[in-house]
Amino acid sequence: MKILILSKICNKAIKHLGVNHSTECAFDVPSSKLPEIIGNYDALVFRSGVALDRKLLEHAKALKLIIRAGSGMDSLDVEYAESRNILIKRIPEPAARAVAEMGLGLMLCLARKIIPADKAFRQGHWAKNEIEGRLLAGKALGVVGVGNIGSVVGQLGKAMGMRVIGCVEYPSPDRSERLREKGIELLSFSDVIEEADFLSIHVPLQASTRGLINGVVLSRMKVGSCLINLSRGGVVDEQALFQSLSNERGLMGAAVDVHQSEGAGFSSPLSSLSNVILTPHIGSQTIDTQQEIGKRVVEIIDAFSGG
């Protein structure tokens, strides 16, 4: 097979693919140049940050397989790909643990004010009696989107002694019972945002979730609560979040790993605030996770090429 790898994946996987397939990498190729090179490949491998829209896919005349080396599908024109009978495979499971652990880490950083404590210390200021943190134990963790990642976040929160509440787009008695067995209480979206001390967002970006966390929603959250966004940037209204974080009657803090604009040269409108933690979309960026995803990419391509 002729394979074009559009995003960086595990080097071991790339070498393995090169043994049995014709493999090319286009990590640093500008998006404007992709239509010129994409035409003769049988398979594409991509991660977030690469947009496979119809205009680009129309140039991929030989394409039979698209592999999303992760979970989110918002940057792929699924409808068009399916209309051409292109097989789409995603690999959501390996990233769930990595993203969930990062969510827990960000909650701890916000609760214990680890970033400002570190900054003060580096500046020669001994702020021992000024830094007042909070325990996670006994607090309410609200999970918006209790799927692959959200359910693991909930279990980690439960292990920390938190009351875990969550919501899903399509609740059912069976789903409620399965989550209850994991220590997660399924409530309405409205109840979750109003009762949470820490609100963790884990929904895909689609029409129903774009701008889901807006000014109205933020105004209904507890004064002094915290928001963690590890889903997609478009789910949270960044300007409304800025206003809430700047208001003494708003949120205490936020941690944001995904942004409305991403990539080199972009900056967040939240950058000027000291009560927000900003990271460059690294939720699944662990060695272990990327090795497992790379392994799965190889398995999918070998199985596909073998019929």
Specify the pLDDT at position 48: 83
Unique residue bearing structure tokens 């996987």? 13
User: Of 232, 259, 292, 296, which is the active-site residue?
Assistant: 232
Specify the pLDDT at position 306: 85
Q: What is the percent of the chain with per-residue pLDDT over 70, rounded to a whole number?
A: 100
Q: Is the pLDDT of residue 72 over 90?
A: no
Q: Is the pLDDT of residue 176 over 80?
A: yes
Q: Is 262 a catalytic residue?
A: yes
Q: Is 281 a catalytic residue?
A: yes
pLDDT tens readout for residues 204-252: 999 999 999 999 999 999 999 999 999 999 999 999 999 999 998 999 9
Specify the pLDDT at position 265: 83
Q: Which helix (H) or strand (E) holds 178?
A: helix 173-181
Q: Is the pLDDT of residue 170 over 70?
A: yes
User: Of 93, 101, 185, 262, which is the active-site residue?
Assistant: 262
- Among candidate residues 181, 174, 172, 108, the one with its CA nearest the CA of residue 151: 181
Residues 6+ apart with CB under 8 A from 85: none
CATH architecture of 2-90+287-305: 3-Layer(aba) Sandwich (3.40)
State the CATH class of domain 96-274. alpha beta
Q: Is the pLDDT of residue 307 over 80?
A: no
Q: Are 215 and 237 in contact (CB under 8 A)?
A: yes
User: Of 97, 163, 259, 281, which is the active-site residue?
Assistant: 281
In this chain, the answer to whether the domains covering 2-90+287-305 and 96-274 adopt an identical fold is yes
Enumerate the domain spans of the chain: 2-90+287-305, 96-274
Q: Is 177 a catalytic residue?
A: no
Strands of the chain (E only): list them: 2-5, 22-25, 43-46, 65-68, 87-90, 140-144, 163-167, 184-186, 198-201, 226-229, 253-256, 276-278
Please, which residues bridge with residue 90 across strands?
68
Which residue type does 107 have? M
Backbone angles phi, psi at 144, to 5 degrees: -95, 105
**Hey, what are 229's tokens?**
């966004």
Q: Is the pLDDT of residue 152 over 70?
A: yes
Specify the pLDDT at position 263: 83
